[in-house]
Amino acid sequence: MKQMNTRSMVEGALLAAITIIISLFSLYVPVLGVFASLIWPVPIVILGIRHGTKTSILATVVAGIVVAMLEGPMQAFTVILGFGLIGIVMGWAIRKEYPPFRVLTLGGLASLVSKAILILISIYIMGLNPLTEELSAMRESLSLMQNMYKGMGVSPDTMKSIIGNFEKVLDLMALALPGILVLASLMDAFLNYQVTKAILSRLGQKIQGFTPFWLWNFPPYTVFMFLLGVLLTMLETYWPVGILKPLGLNLQIVFYFVFLIQGFSLIAFYMGKFNVAKILRVFVVLLVFFNPFISQIVIWAGMFDILFNFRHI
């Protein structure tokens, strides 16, 4: 028992040290630091799985104290809240042996709550909204883009049309920020789950994996939620209260993404069924990503697959 406790303490200290190293890496290494920040919660998740929630909380606090000593309390608070919460929640959920999709949902919620709190702190303490600041920077870059097109000899009418389309996209992004944050939070949770699973597998510990991708099948209520989004957007025309269109638009964006995943799952199923060559599979994926018409077809195919179960799953 004493040997096990010593081993747990050593492993806990090692993972806590790795957490601190990743924190510093994300702060001081410009490009790779972005990826490091995405997988920052992984050691916290592993600690929660192997040694319990108290240990993962303690490691998060220790990492925060070290970062505070090196970079200041605000940066430490950002690290703890921005990445610690998702690690603690996912470690607890996996230790409880929850199904992967439930862990993904809880982790996504934790990540979303963290992002929302950090944005509110930035607004009320620092007086800056990081989201609107980013959009403002993009709008300012339009003038640079206009000058670049002018230098390339693009006609004024064509240039006006291009700039106008970019402005519409930025206006859409401003309305769709909540939906983008939801999707980003779910991607955070998914990435950390997969990295955690891979590391624990190397350590000889198995955790439950997701259903094979070609068998993914989202529930029918996802179609209802998308149609609700369409309805809310239409109602804004007749009942202009200012909230229906943004809410409807965000519902559509989130569930468009769901349908896209379902569509890719449908494609993967049939490519596997007909033993399509790997190079052709890569070509199909690239075609979907870079051809808006094809991607739209895949989205609608995913939605109808949810309703009619083309694969008979």
187 lies in the same domain as 292? no
Shortest CA distance to 101 belongs to which of 226, 251, 213? 213
133 lies in the same domain as 241? no
Residue 67 sits in which domain range? 2-202
pLDDT at 268 over 80: yes
**pLDDT (0 to 100) of residue 134:** 72
Please give the tally of structural domains in the chain: 2
Rounded average pLDDT over 83-109: 94
125 lies in the same domain as 6? yes
86 lies in the same domain as 171? yes
pLDDT at 132 over 80: no
pLDDT tens digits, 178-213: 898 999 999 999 999 999 999 999 988 889 999 999
- The average confidence (pLDDT) of the chain is 85
User: Does a structural domain hold residue 17?
Assistant: yes
147 lies in the same domain as 15? yes
pLDDT band at 242 (very low <50, low <70, confident <90, very high): confident
114 lies in the same domain as 259? no
**pLDDT (0 to 100) of residue 172:** 77
**209: DSSP letter:** P
18 lies in the same domain as 148? yes
Last residue of a domain, one of 146, 178, 202: 202
**pLDDT (0 to 100) of residue 169:** 74
How many Å apart are CA 16 and CA 26, to the nearest integer?
15
Pair 159, 3: CB distance under 8 Å: no
User: Does a structural domain hold residue 208?
Assistant: no
Last residue of a domain, one of 166, 183, 202: 202
**pLDDT (0 to 100) of residue 33:** 67
User: Does a structural domain hold residue 313?
Assistant: no
222 lies in the same domain as 144? no
218 lies in the same domain as 193? no
139 lies in the same domain as 29? yes
How many Å apart are CA 169 and CA 289, to the nearest integer?
18
User: 59-73, 117-131, 140-154, 231-245: lowest mean pLDDT where?
Assistant: 140-154
Tokens of 53: 């929630």
111 lies in the same domain as 137? yes
CATH of the domain at 169: 1.10.1760
pLDDT at 1 over 50: no
User: Does a structural domain hold residue 238?
Assistant: yes
175 lies in the same domain as 31? yes
Distances (CA, A) of 228 to 100, 131, 172, 300: 27, 26, 19, 16
pLDDT at 118 over 90: no
User: Does a structural domain hold residue 284?
Assistant: yes
Rounded average pLDDT over 233-259: 87
Last residue of a domain, one of 202, 236, 255: 202
pLDDT tens digits, 41-78: 898 999 899 888 988 888 888 888 887 887 777 777 77
Distances (CA, A) of 99 to 70, 80, 90, 274: 39, 26, 11, 30
